[in-house]
Structure 1
Amino acid sequence: MEMKQLEAFVAVVRHNSFSKAADMIYLSQPTISAHISSLENEIGAQLLIRSTRTVYPTQIGKELFHRAKSILALRDEAIGSIKRVDREMGGEISILASTVPAQFLLPEIIAAFQQQYPHIVFDVHQADSLQVAESLLGYRYDFGIVGTSVSSRHLLTVPFYRDRLVLITPKSMIVNQEELYRDLSSFLRQQPFVMRGDGSGTRTEMEQLLHKQGISVRNLNVVSYFHDTQGILSAVSHGMGISFVSKVAAAAYEKTGQIKVYDLGKQAFTRQLHLVFKKAVVLSPVQKVFVSYLENYFTSATFNRYNRRVETK
């Protein structure tokens, strides 16, 4: 069994494609196919199921995929211990993230990260928080990012960002802020409400915030349900009703004057966003660099200056 065979196999499983794998590791498609065939012959089992549209691993293939990633990570770690880690290091990181981090945090983080490590490529997918935790136990993604607690003895979590919900209203809505802060529950009951769909971390947090105000979803005048934050922001900006969203998600819409934002302070619900990955996985040097970068990013002077600018708008 050779490293090139494992590299080819891991690349095919990651991308569910021989052609995409060939592009990522700079080999021809026939070479990729030859590596996979020789690996299957050596192991004596079929590793991949090839259909007309996609390629995916068999059960034995999934088991080998986890081990192959660890073997390649250990190899890279050994090389990295000798060579200095610098901006020339390359590789790929796959992330499955819930809506807020996928749409509003990761683009900023990845752009800043690639200023230092331009040869590291990211493959970002989006799902709700429950799906992220479940999918991460499968074979495809390196990391997950969620805004709810994850209870699994197979997963590790690294907190990296504290977020909170804010109340958003259409820009045309006239709000008596003194009355709003004095009797929030009464205000919420009187307005048409745009609700987040089931399964999201934001929906869970929203219900907890409402519970603190003595309100259940049944007490609200819910006029629509949206299954992503972007949909809620757009609906509110068009005058459909009011809602709660992540503060970081509301910032861009507030800056362009499409909505009004009310920070509820002590009444608000805060949450910790977590990077999640499997305990059994050996992280490659590229993955370790990203974890370390993410842990420190939101305490950097650059972000603190950015955050203060957003908060003073």
Structure 2
Amino acid sequence: MNFHQLHIFHTVAERGSFSSAAQMLHMTQPAVTMQVQALEDYFGTKLLIRGSKKIELTEAGKTLIPYAQRSIDIMREADVAMSSFTHMLQGRLQLGASLTIGEYVLPRLLGPFGQQYPQINIVMKVMNTAQIIDDICKHQLNFGLIEAPIHHPDMVVDVVMKDELKLIVPADHPLAQQDVVDLKDVVQYPFVLREQGSGTRQVMEDQFINKGINLEQLKVVMELGSTGAVKSAVEAGLGITMLSPSSVKHEIALGIVKMIDIKDVAFRRQFYAIHLKSTLLPISAVTFLTFLRQQT
């Protein structure tokens, strides 16, 4: 018995078929079948019932499943524990990042990471969450970084960084004269927002609802598909918005916009790393995620 066999058995049981498990594991179906049979031979008992529609666990298989899960968890924990010691890593790390993370958060961190691990070549695609999930399932990305939690049966979702949205207004806006404003005053002004479904907008709307604000009464004059477009519209005086401070550092330094706190409201959110349950991340990916967690 070895970890590889337990990992394959767990994936077959989770997916309910050898063909689906083979696709997830990037293996041939006969190879998956052979490894499960080897595990059954080792224990001298059947672990799976091969039905016409879906594979089911025998009593022995049900007993083995939690041990297989623990072995996977231990391997992941070992990778995290050892990641701080592996300074001679090399290879190609492919990841996907949603817009705010990919355009504004990661660029300032890639330099320090590259200095610490110069042999790791990072290839980052900036795309929406649905595209990231699709590419991970196709094994085109090692993992993804997204702005809102997802519920996907094949994905591991872990918190990796924290963030907080702030009110952003043009420098000559009436609210710009204050450092802290009341929410009831904020909602009187026109908003320029990210599109419906974006992580940034969802965090803002959730907090507004929690504070008793009727979203239908908001004066949303423009919905835009990127943070850059939202910033440009705010700079032009078309409205106010809620954005991550990391995305407006340059504009604040130049005095183009102002960042303001809203009294008694915190627009906190988390960034998440996602990857396939059936795939153990390479140590280079674990090291990169550990590095990100240490930055916040």
**Other-structure match for 1:188:** 187
Q: Distance in 2 between matches of 1:162 and 1:200?
A: 17
State the Cα deviation string for residues 90-145 of structure 1 (Å, max 9, x = none): 21111111111101111122111100111211111122334434543332111111
TM-score (norm 2): 0.67
Report which stretch shifted further, 233-242 or 121-130: 121-130
Map 1:81-100 → 2, pairs under 5 A = 85-87=86-88, 89-100=89-100
Residue 217 (structure 1) shift? 3.6
What amino acid does structure 2 have at the position aligned with 1:86?
H
Match of 2:256 among 250, 255, 258: 258
Residue 63 (structure 1) shift? 3.2
Q: Confirm or deny that 1:63 pairs with 2:23.
A: yes
1:129 and 1:199 in contact (8 A); partners too = no
Q: Confirm or deny that 1:150 pairs with 2:110.
A: no
1:66 and 1:281 in contact (8 A); partners too = no
Q: Distance in 1 between matches of 2:24 and 2:277?
A: 17
1:194 and 1:232 in contact (8 A); partners too = yes
Q: Distance in 2 between matches of 1:179 and 1:249?
A: 19
Q: What value does the CA root-mean-square deviation take over the aligned residues?
A: 2.9
3-state DSSP class of the match of 2:280?
A: coil
Q: How many residues align?
A: 224
Larger helix proportion of the pair: 1
**Other-structure match for 2:165:** 165
**Other-structure match for 2:107:** 107
Q: Which has the higher contact order (CA 8 A, sep 6+)?
A: 2
3-state DSSP class of the match of 1:149?
A: coil
**Other-structure match for 2:267:** 269
**Cα 1:205–1:158 shift into 2, 3 Å:** same
Map 1:162-311 → 2, pairs under 5 A = 162-175=162-175, 181-182=181-182, 184-189=183-188, 191-264=189-262, 266-298=264-296
**Cα 1:263–1:140 shift into 2, 3 Å:** same
**Cα 1:234–1:263 shift into 2, 3 Å:** same
Which structure 2 residue ranges, 5 or more long, are not aligned? Answer: 1-18, 29-74
Q: Distance in 2 between matches of 1:261 and 1:134?
A: 36
**Other-structure match for 2:9:** none
3-state DSSP class of the match of 1:261?
A: strand
3-state DSSP class of the match of 2:187?
A: helix
Q: Distance in 2 between matches of 1:213 and 1:90?
A: 49
Q: Distance in 2 between matches of 1:292 and 1:105?
A: 16
2:180 and 2:261 in contact (8 A); partners too = no
Q: Distance in 1 between matches of 2:92 and 2:262?
A: 40
Residue 206 (structure 1) shift? 1.8
Q: Distance in 1 between matches of 2:147 and 2:172?
A: 31
Q: Distance in 2 between matches of 1:226 and 1:168?
A: 15
2:160 and 2:289 in contact (8 A); partners too = no
**Cα 1:187–1:107 shift into 2, 3 Å:** closer
Residue 288 (structure 1) shift? 2.5
**Other-structure match for 1:122:** 122
2:24 and 2:137 in contact (8 A); partners too = no
1:185 and 1:213 in contact (8 A); partners too = no
State the Cα deviation string for residues 153-190 of structure 1 (Å, max 9, x = none): 321223222111111111111227679733x234323x
1:99 and 1:128 in contact (8 A); partners too = yes
3-state DSSP class of the match of 1:263?
A: strand
What amino acid does structure 2 have at the position aligned with 1:220?
L
2:100 and 2:247 in contact (8 A); partners too = yes
Map 1:44-63 → 2, pairs under 5 A = 63=23
**Cα 1:179–1:220 shift into 2, 3 Å:** farther
2:193 and 2:230 in contact (8 A); partners too = yes
1:159 and 1:274 in contact (8 A); partners too = yes
1:145 and 1:275 in contact (8 A); partners too = yes
Which structure 1 residue ranges, 5 or more long, are not aligned? Answer: 1-58, 69-73, 299-313
Q: Distance in 2 between matches of 1:278 and 1:98?
A: 17
2:181 and 2:261 in contact (8 A); partners too = no
